[in-house]
Structure 1
């Protein structure tokens, strides 16, 4: 049973905690609807810290070149926050509302209204569903008025080492890699996947399928029907596996319009199993 808590103002300032079996998840709606903790059998899987955990990327993913994109004849400027570019959307810097929670403490829903500096009106929702061995995240973007290009995805920071003495291993089979230019944007060329380390976007036409293995501890699979994933493993503390609805700078190179009759929806499921 879903309980509507839309008008409960106290929910806005409260972290939401979900539990299923020995899995525990914490969501902070006031801090960009960020997943601040995912613990399995008492072991924290996400890097801790205000910038980390796992956050939604919306209404765009990765970098927008020079922070600018066009919609028809209109050019829009987003605030730059990664060198000369704008990165990872505005949703991670926005306070979301908790609009639903269930009596079993395994499901929660969140939303926020698109606003400045994003130039179009609309609503973003995120549904979080936890089971004993999986987490499913679903995000939707809808417009209240005019059509606009948008993207959505997630940026999880998985701990490189869970304290077992062995670092995580990342395995995937991509159809291609987006060639990355010196400006960290795709050049438009698709190349054969290269060995890491990566800060790169890969195409998976049959859907995202990436396996993280902490030897002797845990295996976790990141899956999505989306065709795009960014892998980032250039930090000592964490690795990122980011399923998303389009490539970096996609608002310019591969725009996906959100219209009144065609909202954008994307989901990802993380499934884990113990190896110990």
Structure 2
């Protein structure tokens, strides 16, 4: 049952979870994004309605020219990233909170609708502990099968703003997807290149990346998913995005959601104080 505080905050579309010295604020009205993640008094996510950490669903990254095929039918999505469609529709939707919230857990859902052409439901579960946050997202259908993707786009602050050093990112991908002039993977795999990046990487043993603010905080991002996009071309933030497939994956690596086989993805962010 939701606490009185959660019920009050639901009226202004902010749900707050607390565990130990960690606090998460969820914005179901803003695409069910994490608006804030505070660890021992330090905000680690870039602030603003377009930032925090938002779900990418029912596709991740860019879909070429906004089009994807399901069998013999071609569908057109809004072209909101130049010629492409980007990051799915879930980040624009108002999600509903499911019953059963506690001080440390909450779940939300929204039903797929226009411009997405297939009925279905997306759920997202937040589980906060004193030293980690686990996110789980599922895409389900009881009708037609369709290709889909899911993942998260967190904007980790490059600098925590307390006089410390900028964040350092460590990860060891098996390969890097070559990025074409249209900003999409070409299908060619490269040895990992040096940054800055707006690139997709393969990690067949699961995503495992560590962000370290020297002398302050370490956050390890893990997921059984095999794909991660890293975006660090902006001065304010570094994005480490676990996802179920690569950009344009609706076309190049389609994963069908069926009535008996939903798509599920999970990620855990675990932190350690370095002070």
Q: What does the per-residue CA deviation read over 1:5-47, in whole Å, with 9 as the maximum and x for residues that have no partner? A: xxx9994753100000000000000110010000001110000
Taking the aligned partners of 1:155 and 1:70, their CA distance within structure 2 comes to 25
Q: What does the per-residue CA deviation read over 1:48-104, in whole Å, with 9 as the maximum and x for residues that have no partner? A: 01110000000000000000000000000000000100000000000000113434x
Partner of 2:269: 270
Unaligned runs of 5+ residues in structure 2 are none
Q: What does the per-residue CA deviation read over 1:143-180, in whole Å, with 9 as the maximum and x for residues that have no partner? A: 12000000000000000001233000000000000000
Per the normalisation by structure 1, the TM-score is: 0.95
Q: 1:121 to 1:12 in 2, by over 3 A?
A: farther
Taking the aligned partners of 1:48 and 1:90, their CA distance within structure 2 comes to 21
Q: What is the DSSP-based 3-state SS (H/G/I as helix, E as strand, rest coil) of the residue aligned with 2:91?
A: helix
Q: 1:30 to 1:116 in 2, by over 3 A?
A: same
Q: What count of residue pairs does the alignment treat as equivalent?
A: 271
Per the normalisation by structure 2, the TM-score is: 0.96
Taking the aligned partners of 1:265 and 1:48, their CA distance within structure 2 comes to 27
For residues 115-264 of structure 1, what are the structure 2 equivalents within 5 Å?
115-163=113-161, 164-264=163-263
Unaligned runs of 5+ residues in structure 1 are none
Q: 1:41 to 1:141 in 2, by over 3 A?
A: same
Q: What is the DSSP-based 3-state SS (H/G/I as helix, E as strand, rest coil) of the residue aligned with 1:30?
A: helix
Partner of 2:25: 26
Partner of 1:55: 54
Q: Is the Cα–Cα contact under 8 Å of residues 12 and 30 in structure 1 kept in the other structure?
A: no
Q: What is the DSSP-based 3-state SS (H/G/I as helix, E as strand, rest coil) of the residue aligned with 2:54?
A: strand
